[in-house]
Chains A and B, each alone.
Chain A
């Protein structure tokens, strides 16, 4: 419990440092930092509408992708291709959603979600094969496939999935039955509840299951885990990576069936990368990912308001996100150094 509180404190400090640097930078650049931060706050938390319809809606993909990233990294694998898996999921979900005419909602909604999950996992299949069979780092392969996915979406919305009039680069709208219901009469869709449930499920897997324990052992020392013979490293890693892709695909599906109702280019404003910060800030803990997902979503939601109301480019919040991660890394390094100083040296090591 104490370590949780400590982690929360460090996270909050990192966030404050990030925002402080943003304010200083904006003042130096001649903007009104006070007005900018006020706009940021208003856009994210200013009203119930803003909180649900702007912040929490953006939190859904960030939480889902962040959970998937954490799942893979627990096993020692880095999935930085969530953007691509998100698009794969969005394509599949839109395709099912458009063709779900006449289906009842209780069939259409699960079908859309499953399509997203399956497509996300499928998009991860090639990196998994390349890693296990040829030893190509998943960092590189998942990343390369982002570009392929973006080109594929571009092809789909101008080709086979283009809306019937053939004018706009977007798909036809998905049918009513395939659209997620809203919560509390707001613009927040039911995908939020699913994201919370996935977080709960993952927390349980990590903390209470043999599989979760072995995955962690694998991530912390693949050699040791494999030599001990109890962990079949390749297979476990494949499962973790495929689920990681599946969750990003689900995020894409929810974006289509809960927000956009059609497939577009640039559907994601970089959720796949922002979610990495979300998961890291939460130290890969599922419950904390929900919290940090909302925080980063608030930054992104507020960024839009900041650009509208204070004329500050929305990309400025990426500075905050980057700084938060860097401060956290530095904090960890300092903690490690402190710990090693406190520990009694067993062997007189090199300097």
Chain B
């Protein structure tokens, strides 16, 4: 097989895999910069996926993306009510929200698509090649002939970066995450700021879930996010709480996942399960190198009583 063609395929797959992860991680960057760890984004993503599937079944892909975003916001609102509103432990709240989401999506899905819960097949969003750019060798197809959700990701990642680091609301978010007491003294509402950040994060997680269904898999299955929300949280750490860093880390994870296609094409006699492990192990060791330099928001994970 032509090595250039294989490399091109790997890159196309890598960007596809990275897209939902980058979206969810960017949302989690927002939440964590405000001092909130939201493990519930796994649940928000799952609901986004279900919303995407239902919306697309009823009224097409664009509606699917919208319903997915809305579903993610609703899940984030539940998390925010308990973790921010009542000041409960964030990690435990997130775990509970994800648990409930697994149950609810599984039940609603069967309700919508029959007791067997099979047979749902949605047309996936087709790639839109961007003139000239898509013709670039090697990276053209990977970066510039992707479904609309990938282009949304290209826009949203820098947008969130700009919002966080170049605007007043962004400054408020970071202030609340670093030193809530000082932020409050400066007239910023800690809870309100955190709630907005978490809801925006939920919207992005919902979009990520819908992307998974509408741009990649083309169907919904029980627990289909399979831990991608949790991976997104690891990616946030890897990207040092910076949207652009998280985007790049997501790309790295996507590349490590997609690499198995190339290695299998190369006819290596390595069991495929080791390729399945690769991205997770790589993330583990990358974390060891990336963390420990004091980049985490100082008030991360601490509830406001």
Contact = CB atoms under 8 A, between A and B. Distances in A.
Q: Is the interface of B mostly helix, strand, loop or mixed?
A: helix
A309 B181 CA distance: 55
22 contacts: A25-B107, A29-B111, A134-B289, A136-B287, A136-B288, A136-B291, A137-B237, A139-B39, A144-B283, A145-B280, A147-B280, A148-B277, A315-B106, A318-B99, A319-B100, A321-B96, A321-B100, A322-B96, A325-B96, A326-B100, A329-B86, A330-B82
B152 interface: no
B103 to A, nearest CB: 3
Given A322-B100, A340-B305, A313 B106 contact: yes
A292 interface: no
A110 B274 CA distance: 31
Interface stretch (B6-14, B87-95, B208-216): B87-95
A44 B137 CA distance: 62
B230 interface: yes
A148 B280 contact: yes
Interface of B: 39, 78, 82, 86-89, 91-93, 95-104, 106-107, 110-111, 115, 117, 181, 184-185, 222, 227, 230-231, 233-234, 237, 271, 273-274, 276-277, 280-281, 283-284, 287-289, 291-292, 305
B39 to A, nearest CB: 8
Contacts of A147: 227, 276-277, 280
A277 interface: yes
A125 B26 CA distance: 30
A276 interface: yes
Provide the main secondary structure of the chain A interface. Answer: helix
A329 B227 CA distance: 24
Nearest to A144: B280
B273 A322 contact: no
Interface residues of A, number: 54
Nearest to B43: A322
Contacts of A330: 82, 86, 88
A340 B281 CA distance: 45
Interface of A: 25, 29-30, 78, 80, 126, 130, 133-137, 139-141, 143-148, 151-152, 154-155, 158-159, 273-274, 276-277, 280, 311-313, 315-323, 325-326, 329-330, 332-334, 336, 340, 350
Given A78-B91, A136-B287, A333-B88, A315 B222 contact: yes
